[in-house]
Amino acid sequence: MDALALEPSEREFLAALQRLGVRYLIIGMSAALLQGARGVTEDVDLWFERLDEPGIGEAARAANGFWISGTFGTRPPGLGGLGLEDRFDVVLTANGLGDFATEYAGARTILVDGLELRVLPLARILASKRAANRPKDQAQIPALEAALAVERDGSGELPGA
């Protein structure tokens, strides 16, 4: 990835999560793009081990943002504030995947802006997209299959590149 792939507030948030020992995974197309898949996404999908983890709010505050835990039952959990709004999407349900601990154990580590980020492997992202089966997920399946083929054959080049 580029040396400046993350905005400063995004980097600070993720770095603070790590400093505080908050376990999370980057999943979805953002994780796929970090592993070389072609495509686009509007946000970074974060799957937290525990939504009641106090470190999430502390990390958001360190990045000049805020955390809405969703514990009040009136709205889903989310991140906000200058630099964090609309960038991170908190995942509540990961279709087609095992529990967090199982997926975390099989996660990859990708270096981005000096941070070691845990990401869901391509094969698991593909499984999740197939299980979700929404039109936007179906549209991403060919790109994921192509990236997975490159990963498996070790050529380093996507078909048609």
Within-domain flag for 104: yes
Where do we find the tokens 């793009």? 33
Q: Which residues pair with 26 in a beta bridge?
A: 46, 119
Task: Give residue 142's domain range.
Answer: 8-151
* 61/143 Cα distance (integer angstroms): 36
* 103/90 Cα distance (integer angstroms): 16
Within-domain flag for 46: yes
What residues have CB less than 8 Å from 9, skipping those under 6 apart? 63, 64, 65, 81, 82, 83, 84
Predicted confidence band at 125 (pLDDT cuts at 50, 70, 90)?
very high
Within-domain flag for 98: yes
- Write out the two tokens for 92: 């509540």
* pLDDT tens, residue by residue, 80-91: 888 787 789 999
This prediction has a pTM of 0.88
CATH number reported for the structural domain that contains residue 114 in this entry: 3.30.460.40
**Number of structural domains the chain divides into:** 1
Within-domain flag for 142: yes
pLDDT at 123 over 90: yes
Within-domain flag for 160: no
Q: What SS3 state is found at 80?
A: strand
Mean pLDDT of 51-68: 94
55 and 20 in contact (C-beta within 8 Å)?
A: yes
Within-domain flag for 3: no
Within-domain flag for 67: yes
Residue type for position 44: V
pLDDT at 1 over 50: no
Within-domain flag for 80: yes
* 26/104 Cα distance (integer angstroms): 10
User: Which position has the higher pLDDT, 5 or 10?
Assistant: 10
Q: What SS3 state is found at 124?
A: helix
